[in-house]
Structure 1
Amino acid sequence: MRLSKVIVLAIIFVFVSLPLVTAAEKEELTNEQIYEKRMDLFKKVETVTNVPWHYLAAVDTYERGLRRAIKDRPKEEGFISIYYSEEEWAGKFNPNKQDTHPLSIQMFGGVGLDGDGDGLADRSNDEDVLYTLAHYLEGFGFNEDDLRIGLWEKYKRDQSVRIVHGHAQVYKKFDTLDLDDHAFPMPLNYNYSYKNTWGDRRGWGGRRIHEGTDIFAGYNVPIRATAYGRVEIKGWNKYGGWRIGIRDLDNIYHYYAHLSGFEKGIEENSIVAPGDVIGYCGSSGYGKPGTQGKFPPHLHYGMYRDNGYTEWSFDPYPSLKQWERKAYQDRRKKK
């Protein structure tokens, strides 16, 4: 088994070697070209290790979100965002933290591997980094439970495992990396109004700030998913009433509250696309399950970013305005 893998690996290195791209060259590529380059890498490493491409993409996407959220983590220069520290890559006691020799890295307990067959284990080489991750995961097995165990051993955090697993399910369903579209949460042909209410004081249930934007509309106006993602939670809480939480591919949690009801077929773990109806505008909340009418009907829309350790809310108003403008532009183009 090991010999056959080495033979397959050698054949792939000879015939499918992917050229390195500089940061400047990457800047000149379109999004479609970048997605194509990434998919080539995922498919190549999937062939060598049997780790499904959508799981490799999910980890890469999760870590791309971490790079945006963690201030001391540098922006990726290549196509792959998976991060290894110098010490983790080269080995804790390795005197050469920039070591690229696989044997000495292994001797000092580092994880870095040669993924493209050039004899070096380079922390800045996309293929080396992606192969190192896949080789680690394949050590746990290939079914869903095995991969989740491997992810837990890597991140030591249940929420991180859930987020990566959700990303993998999204990529598996849509079978593409081009999933950056967004939608405004209400159809434009309904009457609605909103302003920036993030950070306003709230009194019910104790003094707290308003962690979202309120979009006022009539009862039962359709509420739509704003991004590709997975439904993490659905049900009641005393503040938000009937609410849904959806995690997108930027690791952002989208919170839709005060609904009058849910769209049929939307359940926890459902995979959604921008514009999919998930529920209906209402005035539920501020009490026990079923409480309605303590305020005018509206959607409370919140956004929360995950950084691998915790989550925090941020102002969704700029995103809502951007998605609304795009929706109007698209509608004008169709006329």
Structure 2
Amino acid sequence: MKYFGLMILCLLMSCFFHAETIHADEESKDRMALYKKTSVITDIPWEYLAAIDQYERQVHDDPEDGRITAIQVDPMFWTGTAGEMPAHLFPTGWGSDGNGDGNVQIENDEDLLWSLGNYIKSYGTTEEDIKIALWNYYKRDLTVQTIMNTAEVFKKFQTVQLTNRDFPLPKQANYSFRSTWGDARGFGGRRVHEGTDIFANYGVPVKSTTYGVIEMKGWNKFGGWRIGIRDIYNIYHYYAHLQNFAEDVKVGDIVQPGDVIGAVGASGYGPPGTSGKFPPHLHYGMYQDNGKNEWSFDPYPFLRKWERMAK
């Protein structure tokens, strides 16, 4: 009887996750259809519209019921009172009717994307033009960089449904880790540990856990040889104490789960080349950006989840 109940529970859980997957797939199809429709009529490549929406999804609450996008525009831009838009092109604001119903609604997805596309197009349609338009709206370099990088990821994979993840070390490697986030550290002054240490042998391959773009590569006196990858969820993934980098890996590269980016080492705690001050391990950190500031959070639960998925 107990076994039968367990089977029923597993079946119900399987049905739940299957339904969740179907819902996510349908939502992605609806989003893609709207992005591509708007792209055709505004000449702004769909991946930029998708990347803006993806960024907004991370800095605002979930979209309201009945909405496809999460974009929330500055009402002053919408009505023309901000004083920072091309006034000769949008004398009364850049809010306009995108679905032809005769209304201009700030909560309507088609009106929003149509208006957003036209606002960007007022600067031009090249990559540099789009960057300038985004900076004039967001006034933040990291935001612009994140959106542009996410657009490149969407363009390469031709979808916004990028949910796969991977554990950063091969499943057959000899490794161990526990929760070390928040522990005290002494080198360079008193500070807390902003990550999880995964101990393994020198040279064990280190893999990207996510889809994203390499934002940082090089030496840091605390982290040694390290790589930073920003994913499509405004999360910065920090891989430190590497022995070396994978061949030809460079800043700006697009990566996906499983791509090898380096190898486990013991570099750091000193000037470039310092190594061996601690056992070899990968320091893995995660930092969330909310559009205003960035903070670290505990990666341990995610690593355990990805470890189970990998095995």
Q: Say whether the fold is shared (TM-score over 0.5).
A: yes
State the shift of 1:301 in Å: 0.3
Give the distance between the partners of 2:203 and 2:56, measured in 1 at CA. 38
2:211 maps to amino acid: Y
Alignment-derived partner of residue 206 in structure 2: 223
Alignment-derived partner of residue 134 in structure 1: 117
| Structure 1 unpaired stretches of 5+ | 1-26, 68-72, 94-105, 329-335
Change (3 A) 1:88 1:76: farther
Alignment-derived partner of residue 304 in structure 1: 287
State the shift of 1:76 in Å: 3.9
Contact between 2:146 and 2:230, CA under 8 Å: does it hold in 1? yes
Is 1:43 the counterpart of 2:36? The answer is yes
Alignment-derived partner of residue 26 in structure 2: 33
Alignment-derived partner of residue 72 in structure 2: 83
Q: Deviations over 1:196-255 (max 9, x none)?
A: 100011100011100000000000111000100000010001000000000000010000
State the shift of 1:142 in Å: 0.8
Give the distance between the partners of 1:28 and 1:255, measured in 2 at CA. 29
Instruction: Give the RMSD, CA atoms, in angstroms.
Output: 1.9
Change (3 A) 1:152 1:318: same
Change (3 A) 1:43 1:320: same
Alignment-derived partner of residue 220 in structure 2: 237
Alignment-derived partner of residue 155 in structure 1: 138
SS in 2 for 1:121: coil
| Structure 2 unpaired stretches of 5+ | 1-19, 83-89
Alignment-derived partner of residue 194 in structure 2: 211
Is 1:251 the counterpart of 2:240? The answer is no
SS in 2 for 1:234: strand
Contact between 2:63 and 2:69, CA under 8 Å: does it hold in 1? no
1:253 maps to amino acid: Y
State the shift of 1:111 in Å: 3.2
Moved more, 44-53 or 77-86: 77-86
Is 1:172 the counterpart of 2:161? The answer is no
State the shift of 1:86 in Å: 4.5
Is 1:287 the counterpart of 2:287? The answer is no
Change (3 A) 1:304 1:273: same
Moved more, 269-278 or 31-40: 31-40
State the shift of 1:271 in Å: 0.3
State the shift of 1:310 in Å: 1.4
Give the distance between the partners of 1:300 and 1:323, measured in 2 at CA. 16
Alignment-derived partner of residue 9 in structure 2: none
Contact between 2:267 and 2:276, CA under 8 Å: does it hold in 1? yes
Alignment-derived partner of residue 102 in structure 1: none
Alignment-derived partner of residue 319 in structure 1: 302
Match of 2:247 among 245, 255, 264: 264
Q: Deviations over 1:39-58 (max 9, x none)?
A: 11011111001000011111
Give the distance between the partners of 1:198 and 1:62, measured in 2 at CA. 26
Is 1:181 the counterpart of 2:164? The answer is yes
TM-score norm. by structure 2 comes to: 0.87
Percent identity for Structure 1 against Structure 2 = 54
| Matched positions, count | 285
Alignment-derived partner of residue 12 in structure 2: none
Alignment-derived partner of residue 97 in structure 1: none
SS in 2 for 1:301: strand
Is 1:197 the counterpart of 2:184? The answer is no
Contact between 2:236 and 2:288, CA under 8 Å: does it hold in 1? yes
Contact between 2:197 and 2:283, CA under 8 Å: does it hold in 1? yes
Change (3 A) 1:28 1:92: farther
